[in-house]
Amino acid sequence: MSTDVVAEAAAGTIRVRRNSGLYGYERALKRAGLDPVAGADEAGRGACAGPLVAGAVILSDAKSKQISGLNDSKLLSAAQRERCYAEIMEKALAWSVVSVEPAECDALGMHVANISALRRALLRLDVAPTYVLTDGFSVDGLGVPGLAVWKGDRVAACVAAASIIAKVTRDRIMCELHEVYPQYEFSVHKGYCTPLHQERLDRYGPSATHRMRYENVSRTARVLSS
């Protein structure tokens, strides 16, 4: 049976079977003495308005504490995400969420802001992990080993849970920003670069919650100021 290498640790090479399910990574790491395992993911990296939000989650390994319907937040409907969010809040051993405002994203650049947000979320967990799984990008400065997993929010339960925490939190923030800036329709597109968003951006210019480093935002600002 084919396997994926999870990590090289003091316990040796840790492997997880491809068909071991969404909790396979956590189970394999626990068998090697690496427990608890935290997952981290972000939401809003590709948006040109609103904050970047990162979530971190440690899930219980008890069968009664498993999150039903857990998946990558992008593959769930808004109603499914809200249901999973409530269940994660109830059943997780620990969770945290951080928000990086647009001005800081502009100052740091999106990649640095992304890594910083993931690191902050993981360091704010009330329970200290012994191993960390992240979606796509490795995160240093945590004091524990970790692994960046390609499409981690689709293959590791703790990362999927973190993706839901980040996505639901950010969507709620964007709905609040819609009340402040109704002309941009943030409640519809959540700050991503949709045709509707661009049309409103071109009409009204950037707001205080737009990311000026993004070319479509800075271009519109230049056109309107000329």
Nearest to 197 by CA among 171, 225, 216: 216
Write down the mean pLDDT value for the chain: 92
46 or 12, greater pLDDT: 46
Query: Looking at the chain, how many residues does it have?
Result: 226
* Domain residue spans of the chain: 3-170
Of all residues in the chain, what percent carry a pLDDT higher than 90?
Answer: 81
**How many angstroms separate the CA atoms of 17 and 103, rounded?**
43
Each residue of 86-102: pLDDT tens digit? 999 999 999 999 999 99
pLDDT of 8 higher than 60: no
User: Which residues have a Cβ under 8 Å from the Cβ of 112 and sit 6 or more positions away?
Assistant: none
Pairing, β 94-100 against β 52-58: antiparallel
Give the pLDDT mean for 58-65: 92
**What is the structure's pLDDT at 226?**
74
Give the pLDDT mean for 2-18: 58
Give the pLDDT mean for 164-183: 98
String of DSSP letters for 159-219:
HHHHHHHHHHHHHHHHHHHHHH-GGG-HHHHTTS--HHHHHHHHHH---TTB-TTSHHHHH
**How many angstroms separate the CA atoms of 141 and 123, rounded?**
9
Each residue of 127-148: pLDDT tens digit? 999 999 999 889 999 999 999 9
Q: How confident is the model at residue 13 (pLDDT cuts 50, 70, 90)?
A: low
Q: Which CATH superfamily is domain 3-170 in?
A: Ribonuclease H-like superfamily/Ribonuclease H (3.30.420.10)
CB 33 within 8 A of CB 11: yes
Q: How confident is the model at residue 18 (pLDDT cuts 50, 70, 90)?
A: low
**What is the structure's pLDDT at 6?**
55
